Chains A and B, each alone.
Chain A
């Protein structure tokens, strides 16, 4: 009995104190970073890192936690971008509310699309998401209400405006916007991963039949994961739209977004909360610098890099970079 009582007294999550300090120190640094007056390029790089970390976290929820491989996740990015921009362009509604509308629309679409599609499994689901992702692009390319192929041009304000969420003098406000969403979304993911929902999603991923035998409604959990995942993608689209102030189907429904969401997760380590962050920190600077280095040639060098990295990871380290970390850190993280 005493062994049992000892076991019960183990902390539910053995969160290491020093890890927490490191995390808060890191966060403090991120908050102060713009004060150090970094170059605009460095700010841009950080913004891209936040954005891609969230995009791949979104993929990680559906792909890593519930085990469904989505190849068309960029669609939710595009929908988010179009939602906030459309309401601003048409009705002058502030993007702050537009972002929330985008999140809600994505949730509804994810549920509607998810109900028939999540009954599929494996290859069928992957192919279906590929098709649906491209279908959205096709529809937006031809939908006159949202500007068809030329897209929406967000009217520029003459000066920085929080209402319009436009900042022309510096990238710093954008930096903070992306940072806020990055922190919130990673925090939510961390909460999910150690909640009842997280346990049950991993059960569905590892063995759907066993999960069912334990009373888990597999379809419902997949749809929940899909909706959460979509809701994380949407605000990134909205923010990115505010960042570049052009919303067109080729940019916002770019297939590359779906690819990179998956790639970063796989690179970092699927199913780990911090996998997407690790993947992003490695890949995005690499891709951004590759783009600059080969810049102008017009060749899709960054995509080439993605493709090679993806194959190498699959062959040599399918569990991702994060699994290279020392086992005790990993185990702690894994135990959640």
Chain B
């Protein structure tokens, strides 16, 4: 039961990270291979805001969101814009190159050391019916869930969100209707990395922060997006939770050192047998 709860909590975080990735993919059919590195940047942003200005990660969420959104828009304007019409190979290499660059640049600036935010506002554990849950984990999951709902609401209910959807379905038709696709793409990157910023901020309260931290998260995000169906945001929620559960239950029941492999196995099974994703429209 303990494992189920902690898997669920982790899954909600995965879901938010993955939905950012999925949003970007749905919009322009580009997989952001630097997604994990963006997450790492978000965590470092929280860390430095704490270390230099004494702001608790919770307090600095808006700042981190802003930083990452700017980062996303910059990614679009300086890199993605140029490879939009290129072959898929080139697109993959471009974001992959970005990932390598961000990661090694972080290592160069901040060394590969592990850091953590000492004594964050969120700490300790809460007990509920004999189950112990870390306070920061719990809060993080709840915040991520709300952020997810907010994102879903934004994309499906607001006018801008609908414009975003229109662009993702048919770029040209949307342009004809007066939706500037370039702006929408930039918005997509801003939003996508905004999601990552929230997840990163929340996790920096209880996770070690180091340049390679994003790798596993981005792998899980890829898996989640593939499971949920590329481009489907709601799919990410289910897929994120499934991954969280598989990870923690697999670790509990079989062997925790192979956690990664269980999740990968799920990915391979799903894409080989049901390439359109489990819940996806596409």
A and B touch in the complex (CB under 8 A): yes
Is B88's CB within 8 Å of the partner chain A? Answer: yes
Instruction: Report the Cα distance A139→B230, complex, angstroms.
Output: 29
Main secondary structure of the interface of A (DSSP, over half): helix
Instruction: Report the Cα distance A311→B79, complex, angstroms.
Output: 8
| Chain A residue nearest to B259 in the complex (CB) | A138
Q: How far is the CB of A300 from chain B (nearest CB, A)?
A: 4
List A residues at the B interface (Cβ < 8 Å).
Answer: 63, 67, 69, 71, 116-117, 119-120, 122-124, 126-128, 130-132, 134-135, 138-139, 142, 259, 262-263, 266, 270, 297-301, 303-304, 306-311, 313-315, 318
B93, A307: Cβ atoms closer than 8 Å: no
Contacts of A309 in B (CB 8 A): 97
Q: How far is the CB of B141 from chain A (nearest CB, A)?
A: 25
Contacts of A313 in B (CB 8 A): 93
Size bracket, chain B contacts: 35 or more
B219, A315: Cβ atoms closer than 8 Å: no
A259, B268: Cβ atoms closer than 8 Å: no
A308, B82: Cβ atoms closer than 8 Å: no
**Which residues of B in the span 90-108 have a Cβ within 8 Å of any Cβ on A?**
90-94, 96-105, 107-108
A138, B226: Cβ atoms closer than 8 Å: no
B88, A123: Cβ atoms closer than 8 Å: yes
B98, A311: Cβ atoms closer than 8 Å: yes
Instruction: Report the Cα distance A311→B267, complex, angstroms.
Output: 28
Is B89's CB within 8 Å of the partner chain A? Answer: yes
Instruction: Report the Cα distance A112→B104, complex, angstroms.
Output: 34
B260, A127: Cβ atoms closer than 8 Å: no
Instruction: Report the Cα distance A270→B86, complex, angstroms.
Output: 14
Q: How far is the CB of A205 from chain B (nearest CB, A)?
A: 10
Cβ-closest 3 pairs across A and B: A307-B101, A310-B97, A299-B108
**Which residues of B in the span 74-127 have a Cβ within 8 Å of any Cβ on A?**
79, 82-83, 86-94, 96-105, 107-109, 111-112
| Chain B residue nearest to A304 in the complex (CB) | B104
Contacts of B83 in A (CB 8 A): 314-315, 318
Contacts of A318 in B (CB 8 A): 83, 86-87, 90
Question: Given A124-B226, A307-B97, do A300 and B92 touch, yes or no (CB 8 Å)?
Answer: no
Is B275's CB within 8 Å of the partner chain A? Answer: yes
A307, B99: Cβ atoms closer than 8 Å: yes
B79, A127: Cβ atoms closer than 8 Å: no
Q: How far is the CB of A240 from chain B (nearest CB, A)?
A: 21
Instruction: Report the Cα distance A314→B108, complex, angstroms.
Output: 23
Contact of A69 among B82, B92, B98, B99 (CB under 8 A): B92
